[in-house]
Amino acid sequence: MALWGAAGDHGCFCSPLNRNHAGGSHSDRDIRTGDRSRPNAPSLAKVIRQVACVSAGVGQFRISVGELAEGIIGPSQWEHGVNDRVLIGPSSDEFVSDFTSSFGQSPDYVAAGAFAAGLIIEECIRRAGSLNDLSLRDAAHDLETETFYGKFQLDRCGRQIGHSTHLVRWQNGRKVVLT
């Protein structure tokens, strides 16, 4: 199954904005799914009214899709102001202020995650007192902390188990944190 916009006059599945497609008239927010190997088979297509998108948590998403972002939900690893408990590094407000001053734009969760990873590495180096790989790994396994990005904790296999993902929805042109 694939996701694409409604078919145009020439059977092109490229834009969910096209209202005059072979299957009838739908609103400009309709998105159709079906078997791309048989795009002219209307019985395989259905209209979706709710859309979730992995990239919806990034601010660039709204810029890229414009008004079509409205109502779309998706995950976000970090949202400014959601995590107030900080044990290492700057607060969320300090990070956003410094980032914006340095780069002329607000950070999204990708930038926040990269900075938080640096904070975790710095703390592991401080605790290990070494740059030795095994010492750093042991320090990371023993580390249970929180940054402005959220909680950090690894399980015995080295998987991140402390961090929680947020769910966001685009409403009135703005990202709203649901969880």
The pTM for the full model equals 0.68
Main-chain dihedrals φ then ψ at residue 125, nearest 5 degrees? -65, -45
Judge contact between 2 and 35, C-beta under 8 A: yes
What is the phi-psi region of residue 28: left when phi exceeds 0, alpha when psi lies from -120 to 50, beta otherwise?
A: alpha
Alpha-carbon span 93 to 12, nearest angstrom = 46
Q: Read off the pLDDT of each residue in 123-147 and give the average, rounded to a whole number.
A: 97
Residue 42 pLDDT greater than 60, yes or no = no
Of all residues in the chain, the percent with pLDDT exceeding 90 is: 51
| Residue 146 neighbours by CB distance under 10 Å | 19
Residue 57 pLDDT greater than 70, yes or no = yes
- Domain spans, the chain: 2-49, 80-162
Q: Read off the pLDDT of each residue in 33-56 and give the average, rounded to a whole number.
A: 60
Architecture of domain 80-162: 3-Layer(aba) Sandwich (3.40)
What pLDDT does residue 81 have?
83
Nearest to 119 by CA among 146, 155, 92: 146
Alpha-carbon span 8 to 22, nearest angstrom = 7
What pLDDT does residue 12 have?
31
Residue 35 pLDDT greater than 50, yes or no = no
What pLDDT does residue 83 have?
74
Judge contact between 85 and 147, C-beta under 8 A: no
What pLDDT does residue 39 have?
55
Residue 161 pLDDT greater than 90, yes or no = yes
Q: Read off the pLDDT of each residue in 43-54 and give the average, rounded to a whole number.
A: 63
Mean pLDDT, the chain, whole residue set = 79
pLDDT tens profile 62-118: 888 898 899 999 999 999 888 778 999 999 999 999 999 999 999 988 899 999 999
